Structure 1
Amino acid sequence: MADPTKRSDENGKEPSSSDDANLKARLKSLDAQLDQATAQRSKTTGSPARSTSDSNALGQAFRLSAEFVSGVVAGGIVGWLVDRLFGVSPWGLIICLMLGFCAGMLNLLRAAGLLKGARYDQKQ
């Protein structure tokens, strides 16, 4: 039975030291080529900064959409409650949905930084 600790090549011959040296040389050249290709690819794509900015942009998009949708949903709920309490069937919902839309747009503009938030005037 063959010794499993000894290596042999395809023909059943044991590798010589020159084969090991050739293999090590080829491995070093392949490693150098991989390093060069990786460096060249990182120059052209700039992936580390790009992936971070993409995730930040996606997070901001979700935040802005949540700001708008929450205003409209809150207006709809208040409108539905007004319709149930006062019996003014579609008008409470319609008016409060429009107010919710306006509030959602205002929240959206504030969250995006295009509009400054409300401030209290402090007299000094």
Structure 2
Amino acid sequence: MTDHREEDLEERRRRLTTELAERDAKVKDDERAEINADQTRKGYGMAMKISSEFISAIIVGALLGYLFDYFVGTGPWGMIVMLMIGFCAGVLNVMRVVGVVASPHPADRRLDLDDKGNGR
């Protein structure tokens, strides 16, 4: 009788061990899927930020060029020049967001102004 109980107990332990191992594997798979989904969301967010900064710089440049041409009467030249400046500003913004070009730190700009003001 005691032998039969021990066998049943060992069988239950083995079954419990396999069920726990399967559950742990499933939880780890779920965690990996959540990490991948989080990285994908971050990527989409970064893509939206980059594209919106690039497009908005071009639109602002074109709008300023159009207004300049409207009030000054220079024809399409103001719009062409400001559109190119807007494109360059958009590329610079994209490069800053990606990390290729670093924006100057405010403390560095303040030091440069102090150095110029002191006659150095």
Q: TM-score, normalized by length of structure 2?
A: 0.65
Greater percentage in helix: 2
Q: Out of 60, 74, 79, which is 1:93 matched to?
A: 79
Instruction: Give 1:36 shift.
Output: 3.0
Structure-2 separation of matches of 1:118 and 1:42: 43
Q: Secondary structure of the equivalent of 2:100?
A: coil
Between the aligned residues of both structures, percent identity stands at 30
Give the unaligned 5+ runs of structure 1. Answer: 1-31
Structure-2 separation of matches of 1:89 and 1:45: 60
RMSD: 2.6
Matched residues, number: 92
Structure-2 separation of matches of 1:70 and 1:118: 22
Q: Secondary structure of the equivalent of 1:107?
A: helix
Question: What do residues 14-45 of structure 1 show as CA deviations (whole Å, max 9, x unaligned)?
Answer: xxxxxxxxxxxxxxxxxx5xx83883595499
Pick closer, same or farther for the CA change 1:109–1:62 going to 2, 3 Å.
same
Matched, 1:56 2:57: no
Give the unaligned 5+ runs of structure 2. Answer: 1-18, 116-120
Structure-1 separation of matches of 2:24 and 2:75: 66
Pick closer, same or farther for the CA change 1:52–1:44 going to 2, 3 Å.
closer
